[in-house]
Each structure stands twice: as C-alpha cells, then as structure tokens.
Copies of this chain bind each other. A is one copy, B any other.
Amino acid sequence: MTGSLTVVGLGPGDAGLLTESARRALDAAEDLVGYVPYVARVPERPGLVRHASDNRVEIDRARHALELAASGRRVAVVSGGDPGVFAMAAAVFEAVEHGEPGWRDLTITVEPGITAMLAAAARLGAPLGGDFCALSLSDNLKPWPVVTARLEAVLRADLVVALYNPISSARPWQLGAAFEIAAGIRAPETPVIFARAVSRPDEAIRVTTLAEASHAPADMATVVILGASGTRLIPRAGKAPYVYTLRSVAAV
C-alpha cells in the first residue's frame, strides 16, 4: 500500500488562519473527504476528487478515506478547527483500530489547526489565560450524567470552560441546563462569551454574564466560554471590552 491519509485542520474558517503545512497537504491531495461545508472551503482544481458527506457519519467517512488511501490514493480528510478536538482525527484512528490490519501500515498524519476556542479567545483578548478545559456538551456519544458530572467538577475547580457542540435542533435544552449548573457554582456576573463562526463572514461574538447567558442565541457553529473567578473585562470607550483571565491565583 503506497497511499497516504492526512487529517487536515482547516482552522475556524478564514484562509489566513490555515497553517502553511495544512495548505501544502491540501495542495498535495488527490481525494478530499469531509463534511459538506468543510469540503466546500477548499477550492476546486483539476485532479482533485471531492467526497463530501453529511454530518454524524464520522466513522463511515473515516473508513471510506482509509479505503481510498489503501488503494494507493493520496487522501486529505478535512476538519474544521483542529482535527484532534471534537473532530475527525479520533474517528480516523478508531476506524484504524477496528478496521483492516493493513490500515496500520498506511502513512497517516495529522495537520493541526486553530481550534474554535483559541480563535474565539484571540478575538476578545485572553479569556483562556489561566487553566482551562474543553468539554463537548453533546450527549450523542456520552451519557448526559457524565457531561454534567464533568461540568460540575471543572466549575468547582475554577477552570475556564470552553463548551463545544453547545446546542443543536436535536439537543435544544442541554445548554440551558449547563447554565443552570454553572449558576449554582459561579457568580452571576461571571463573563460568558458566545463566539459564532469566528473569522467567517457571518461571525457573531457576544460577551454577556452568567445571569444573562440563557437569553443569548447559540447554535452548532458557536463555542461558549464560561469565565472563571479570575476572568475580567476591560471596558473601553465606544468599543467592545477586552476579556482576559488572570494568570495568577491568590492564596486562599
């Protein structure tokens, strides 16, 4: 088998936020595999075969990409943000573990990308400036009691919390439930950031408080960042405030 598979992080959307290494991997690909809107981000060119598929078929998509690579093709699996953060890389390796033994001999590489929480944080200042975590709020792949137990643990430990997959039409109530849990642990004035489609034409960023968070709009393209006790706003005349989290924690 002489084919190869690269899982490429496209970053949050703007072409300028792609790494040079990711761009080279896209330029070298013969087959492009991914969720429809990610495949659409890569310009068409002669010799590039596009395989766009629906969301929520990650393992099928990964197996298809591995089959193409095993047949000798140079395959790029495209992922928004960073492919290792709630995206395609884990699905590819899960497919490798449970798939054809020969797939383990393929050259599989991962090109990292700017994941949504980093892009959102950069737009606002430095809200991830202290210890932080990334949790997926989806209960498609883990039981809801696990989601809430993890959320409570990191809230009590005073980490900044980035919530991925906060809401979808099939999961309309989980984000509100998460805010209720947070309201029992963190102060009502805690900054909460809603960052949607960062760096894309429809970017929308909103900074609110935990007390008001349940009124803010969110969707699957949104990452929600819950501040910690050290997260601060810097007001500015006529401009959106900066948001950052103190690097230091005082002795208790």
Q: Say whether chain A's binding surface is mostly helix, strand, loop, or mixed.
A: mixed
Q: Which residues of B contact A157 (CB under 8 A)?
A: 149-150, 153-154
CA distance A108 to B126 in the complex (A): 11
| B-contacting 9-mer, from A9-17, A63-71, A166-174, A210-218 | A9-17
Contact B16 A19 (CB under 8 A): yes
| B-contacting 9-mer, from A33-41, A46-54, A129-137, A180-188 | A129-137
Q: Which residues of B contact A234 (CB under 8 A)?
A: 93, 96-97, 104
Contact B90 A246 (CB under 8 A): yes
Nearest opposing residue in chain B for A137, CB measure: B131
Nearest opposing residue in chain B for A244, CB measure: B93
Nearest opposing residue in chain B for A138, CB measure: B247
> With A90-B244, A247-B90 known to touch, is A131 a contact of B122 (CB < 8 Å)?
no
Contact A84 B122 (CB under 8 A): yes
Asked if A44 is at the interface (CB within 8 A of a chain B CB), the reply is: no
Q: Which residues of B contact A21 (CB under 8 A)?
A: 14, 16-17
Known pairs A105-B236, A130-B136; list 18 more (Cβ under 8 Å): A14-B21, A16-B20, A18-B20, A82-B118, A89-B122, A93-B129, A93-B244, A94-B247, A104-B235, A104-B236, A108-B242, A112-B119, A131-B134, A131-B136, A145-B252, A146-B249, A146-B252, A150-B158
**CB within 8 Å of B: which residues of A?**
9, 11, 14-21, 23-24, 58, 82-86, 89-94, 96-97, 104-105, 108-115, 118-119, 121-123, 125-136, 141-143, 145-146, 149-150, 153-154, 156-159, 232, 234-237, 242, 244-249, 251-252
Q: List 10 A-B contacts (CB under 8 A).
A: A16-B20, A16-B24, A18-B19, A92-B126, A94-B244, A97-B232, A132-B134, A141-B249, A153-B156, A154-B154
